[in-house]
Chain A
Amino acid sequence: MKINLNVDVHHLTRVEGHGNIIVKVEKGEIKQASWEVVETPRYFEAILRGQRYDAAGILTARICGICSIGHCLASIRATEHAFGIEIPEIAKKLRMLAKHGETLQSHFLHLFFLAAPDFINLKSVIPLLEKNPQVVAIAARLKGLANNLCDLVAGRTTHPVSLHVGGVSNFPDKRKLSLFKEQLKQSIPDLHATVDLFRTFEIPDFVRETEFVSLKGVDEYPFIGGNLISSDGIEMKEHEYRKMTNEFVVEHSTSKWCRLSRESFAVGALARLNNNYTLLHPEAKKVAETFGLKPVHHNPFMNNVAQLVEVVHCTYDSIRLINEILEYPENTPTMVKFEPKEGVGVGAVEVPRGILYHEYEYNQKGRIVKANCIIPTTQNNANIHYDIYDLVRKNVQKGMTDEKLELLCSMLVRAYDPCISCSVH
């Protein structure tokens, strides 16, 4: 069969950062099918050298405008491990609540603004302002609520101001927390409406077996710290992250690539869910079941659904956390005192797009000597690349057109919710 196909997407839209998709099929033979990251590097690891411990979290938050809370949390966790600091229980709960705020705002942004338009034949959410204002209203309410949670606990949504080495600077206003809990409860019908909307979407049927890497939950669905686990049966300690990622430089991309047991692996909502399904809130599990999402699920397009499951989980878990936080007196210390010291520390945090690692080496003055940050999308880039090849291979025979293939490949990349500028920090 003589099939010729050409896809050349320069700076893919509705993703964070700059990446290209290139597919060339000549006479039915795949000459090229690749995912190229062309983002301009910012050299954060080089800039971190010489920075004082209190600047690291503020600086690395700026790696990403969407998951700045996650970067800040990984950063301060790495520093706390280097200095041997144990933070108060209340600070752990507040950090998790801020983390949920970020997961919710990022997932809602992706689900409604970045992913959904493809499933309803639109190029963006903007035409929906006229066509279906109710959906836009739901999206704005849910995302707004998530941003308010970040503001309340982390002081600001983008680039937090209340998360510090040693704990959290403020105990949020209890009256506002109680009020917020009620608003979260009232948002549940909007969540159901979102699930119903996604039920109408036709998720492409594509499976390529891969390895999934995430944090391993013990008694809670994991977001901050703990052991690392892969669906191929590998388990390591947080500080052994380099053996879990095996980062290497590739010619055609400004982002590095990673591998573990296979040529590539995946991180993100689907990886977390695949490795920690039993720890999801029962209401979130119900949503997963509605979509037939059970571990280990190998369709990357289902990452959208995994995010939907996680927003339900995070909403219910935020209500639980607020209830627990409200039990503490408002004058409970949220910070511990500490002295900077020489040492090395690693912090692993599940940010919306997957597992993130920061590692710092400090001198006695509390200044960074060496830094390393491994970003979720860096870990996904190889997997996206091989997925594109396989997606093209499986579709090349089916009377495919350039336009259809371009949309399919774009939807695949968007399903990963890549954070490309993050990956080229």
Chain B
Amino acid sequence: MKYLFMESKRPKVAVFDFTDCEGCELQFANKEETLVDFLKAIDIVNFREVMSEKSDEYDIAFIEGSISRADEIERLLTIRQKAKFLIALGSCACFGGVNRMKNKFPMSDVNKEVYGETPKETLPVRSIKELVHVDFEIPGCPVSKAEVERIVQHIIWEVPYQFPVYPVCFECKQRFTICRFELGELCLGPVSAGGCDAPCPAGGTPCWGCRGICAAPNFQEFFNLAKERGFSKEEVIERMDFFGGFRSVTGSK
């Protein structure tokens, strides 16, 4: 691919999935208007969900999902050894995601609830960086393909990528979305990392904080605001624990 008459590098890319819904890797095949260019800009050599070709020679490994079984840890360690650059893709990989709510219960209890007297092997959920060194994290449930495209371009041209520092509120204002607090709902927008283009509040759902904490949050003020609007601290903390990106504030496992 050429950009401004310069030939770009075409990194070899692999995509791997662990404990998750595979919705983030699916974004690689979405945003169809630029899909062909995206697939030409990178050389995808290993991506089980959509291709049978398999190569262990890759520069960038995208890791989707959280880790919750011994064989996953082994597989992750092997990938880390082979990859020059490892990217955690999506909230499960970055924080543990919704899967992490399992950690509130003993493993024997969740097994009994789902499998009765024939338990399956499982570990408390962990994010990727709790097990191996991660070079870059792209949060979101799911990730925004537009953002993934931007990041990939930065990697190709070796330009450092800077995530937006503003919270989700900023993007709601840009879109003229009515504040969900004004509609009587609890919204994590004021303390959540923007960059997603705030599709949830615009579509009718307050922010649940899937991208984690924004750059300069004011939690004291946020808890006060929530209280003023009738939401208890427990309610706010329950919401913050949904995607696992606020554990530094909530102290949850």
Give residues of chain B (7-57) contacting chain A, Cβ–Cβ below 8 Å: 17-27, 29-30, 32-33, 35-36, 39-40, 44, 47-54
Select one of A64, A144, A156 contacting B33, CB under 8 A. A144
B204 touches A43 (CB 8 A): no
* With A40-B69, A159-B141 as contacts: A68 and B205 at CB distance below 8 Å: no
Instruction: Assess the A161–B199 pair: CB atoms within 8 A.
Output: yes
Q: B84 contacts the other chain (Cβ, under 8 Å)?
A: no
Interface stretch of the complex, out of B115-123, B130-138, B154-162:
B115-123
Interchain CB contact under 8 A, A162 and B32: no
Residues of A within 8 A of B (CB): 11, 13-17, 40-43, 45-47, 49, 55, 58-59, 62-66, 68, 109, 113-114, 117, 123-126, 129, 133, 136-137, 140-141, 143-144, 147, 154-162, 164, 168-170, 249, 251, 254, 421-422
The distance in angstroms between the C-alpha atoms of A143 and B28, with both chains bound, is 13
Segment from B93-101, B163-171, B211-219 that makes contact with A: B93-101
In the assembled complex, which residues on chain A have CB atoms less than 8 Å from the CB atom of B101? 47
A113-B50 contact given A64-B21, A158-B23, CB 8 Å threshold? yes
Chain B min CB distance to A155 (Å): 2
Beyond A62-B97, A64-B23, A157-B30, is A47–B203 a contact (Cβ under 8 Å)?
A: no
A68 to B20 alpha-carbon distance, docked (Å): 13
Contact A141 B204 (CB under 8 A): no
Which of A17, A155, A158 interacts with B204 by CB under 8 Å? Answer: A155
Contacts A62-B97, A113-B29, A169-B204 given: A46-B48 contact, CB under 8 Å? no
CB pair B200 A43 closer than 8 Å: no
For B24, the closest partner residue in chain A by CB is A65
Among candidates B49, B102, B114, residue contacting A14 with C-beta atoms closer than 8 Å: B49
Is the Cβ of B18 less than 8 Å from the Cβ of A40?
yes
What separation, in Å, do the CA atoms of A42 and B21 have in the docked complex? 10
CB distance from A256 to the nearest CB of B (A): 8
A49 vs B26: C-alpha distance when bound (angstroms): 28
Chain B's nearest CB lies how many Å from the CB of A386?
Answer: 21
CB nearest to A424 among chain B residues? B120
Given contacts A43-B102, A47-B98, A117-B52, contact A62 B23 (CB under 8 A): yes
A126 touches B51 (CB 8 A): yes
Given A66-B22, A126-B39, A164-B204, CB of A45 within 8 Å of CB of B114: yes
Of A46, A123, A421, which is within 8 A of B114 by CB? A46
Q: Does B113 contact A (CB under 8 A)?
A: yes
| Residues A136 and B36 in contact, CB atoms below 8 Å apart | yes
Interface size of B by CB at 8 A reads 57
Residues on A with C-beta less than 8 A from B36 are: 129, 133, 136-137, 140
Q: A123 to B53, Cβ gap below 8 A?
A: yes
How many angstroms from the CA of A117 to the CA of B181 in the assembled complex? 49
B-chain residues with CB within 8 Å of residue A42 when the two chains form the complex: 19-20, 68, 99, 102
Residues of B within 8 A of A156 (CB): 199-200, 203
Instruction: Check: B109 CB closer than 8 A to any chain A CB.
Output: yes
Q: A17: shortest Cβ distance to chain B, in Å?
A: 7
Could you list 17 further interchain pairs (A-B, Cβ under 8 angstroms) beyond the known A13-B54, A40-B18? Answer: A13-B48, A14-B48, A40-B122, A41-B114, A46-B110, A62-B98, A65-B24, A65-B142, A68-B21, A113-B29, A124-B52, A124-B53, A140-B33, A143-B29, A155-B204, A156-B203, A158-B27
- Chain A positions within 8 Å of B32 at CB level: 140-141, 143-144, 147
**For B246, what are the chain A residues with a Cβ–Cβ distance below 8 Å?**
none
Residues in chain B near residue A16, CB distance under 8 A: 22, 49
Instruction: Say yes or no: A162-B98 contact (C-beta < 8 A), given A40-B19, A55-B242.
Output: no
CA distance A249 to B199 in the complex (A): 39
> Contacts A40-B18, A62-B21, A169-B203 given: A159-B142 contact, CB under 8 Å?
yes
| Cβ A46 vs Cβ B105 within 8 A | yes
| A257 → B minimal CB distance (Å) | 12
* CB contact under 8 A between A158 and B142, given known A66-B23, A169-B203: yes
Cα-based distance from A45 to B54 in the complex (angstroms): 34
Question: Please, how many angstroms separate the alpha-carbon atoms of A156 and B22 in the complex?
Answer: 16
User: In the docked arrangement, what's the CA distance between A16 and B35, Å?
Assistant: 20
A155 interface neighbour in B18, B25, B33, B205, Cβ under 8 Å: B205
B58 in contact (CB, < 8 A): no
Contact B39 A129 (CB under 8 A): yes
List 27 A-B pairs, Cβ < 8 Å: A14-B49, A42-B19, A42-B68, A43-B102, A46-B109, A46-B110, A49-B113, A59-B242, A62-B98, A64-B23, A65-B20, A65-B21, A117-B52, A124-B47, A125-B51, A126-B53, A136-B36, A154-B203, A156-B199, A156-B200, A158-B26, A162-B203, A164-B204, A169-B204, A249-B118, A251-B118, A421-B17
Q: In whole angstroms, what is the CA distance A113 to B44 when docked? A: 14
Question: Which A residues are in CB contact (< 8 Å) with B33?
Answer: 140, 144
CB–CB A65/B23 < 8 A: yes
Chain A residues closer than 8 Å to B105, beta-carbon distance? 46
Of B21, B69, B122, most buried by chain A (CB within 10 Å of CB) is B21
Smallest CB separation, B101 vs chain A (Å): 5
- B72 interface hit (Cβ, 8 Å): yes
From B19, B30, B50, give the contact of A147 (CB < 8 A): B30
> B76 at interface (Cβ–Cβ under 8 A)?
no
Give chain B residues whose Cβ lies under 8 Å from the Cβ of A66.
22-23, 26
Q: B residues within 8 A CB of A41? A: 68, 114-115, 120, 122
